[in-house]
Amino acid sequence: KAGVTQTPRYLIKTRGQQVTLSCSPISGHRSVSWYQQTPGQGLQFLFEYFSETQRNKGNFPGRFSGRQFSNSRSEMNVSTLELGDSALYLCASSSDRGGTGELFFGEGSRLTVL
Amino acid sequence: DQQVKQNSPSLSVQEGRISILNCDYTNSMFDYFLWYKKYPAEGPTFLISISSIKDKNEDGRFTVFLNKSAKHLSLHIVPSQPGDSAVYFCAASSKGGATNKLIFGTGTLLAVQP
């Protein structure tokens, strides 16, 4: 069974640009979550999608957005990039409707903003 | 406001000895707790979990203890092996909501010395 796939793995952008990251969940998983990992901050929840609907959202500015498609694949977008957006962005999928928290993570997309 | 705290950024243990990783939380609504392990350049992988109705859960060399009155949980690894060297994240969720949102701690880097 293929795992969670994230693309691209690495990317470099400059301030003010926008970026789109993609996530393909494990086959059959309908829940996709996004997390930002920065040094010293751990993993911070961005948002979660279930069956194409945003089910929950973290405390990030509106520059961070996402969506989920009918095949459960998800994308997240960051507009007007800032230096502080440099981070590892992790996608996780789950078959659960909610609550048990056993998430399966991808390897992440490492974004560097110059 | 860090609702899940891992106050030890790093821990070094000799091979064969016990590793004890600690985690504190502040939100009494949390009722499900998990530990994830992360190797460099990989996504976090689920290790073990515990529901708030229990105070202990074992899985092979890994045991998680939960002290609800102290809002504290710990992960014990016995015996520790060099392959256990990784960053360990504690996470918490509230099962009451239909969501897979997890609140993570900042992680503890475990180094198991041969």
* pLDDT value of residue A99: 57
pLDDT tens for each residue of B10-52: 999 999 999 999 999 999 999 899 999 999 888 999 999 999 9
Distance CA A60, CA A74 (A): 18
Average pLDDT of chain B, as a whole number? 93
Sign of CA dihedral B93, A78, A85, A73: positive
CB contact under 8 A, B95 and A99: yes
Rounded to a whole number of angstroms, the distance from the CA of B54 to the nearest CA of chain A is 14
pLDDT tens for each residue of A22-80: 999 999 999 999 999 998 788 999 999 998 999 889 999 999 999 999 999 999 999 99
Distance CA B6, CA B60 (A): 23
Q: Which of B36, B93, B107 sits opposite A99 (nearest CB)?
A: B93
Residue B96: how many CB atoms within 10 A of its CB? 11
With beta carbons less than 8 A apart as the criterion, state whether A110 and A13 touch.
no
Rounded to a whole number of angstroms, the distance from the CA of A9 to the nearest CA of chain B is 10
Concatenated DSSP letters of A36-101: EEETTTEEEEEEEEETTEEEEE-S--TTEEEEE-TTS-EEEEE-S--GGG-EEEEEEEESSSSSS-
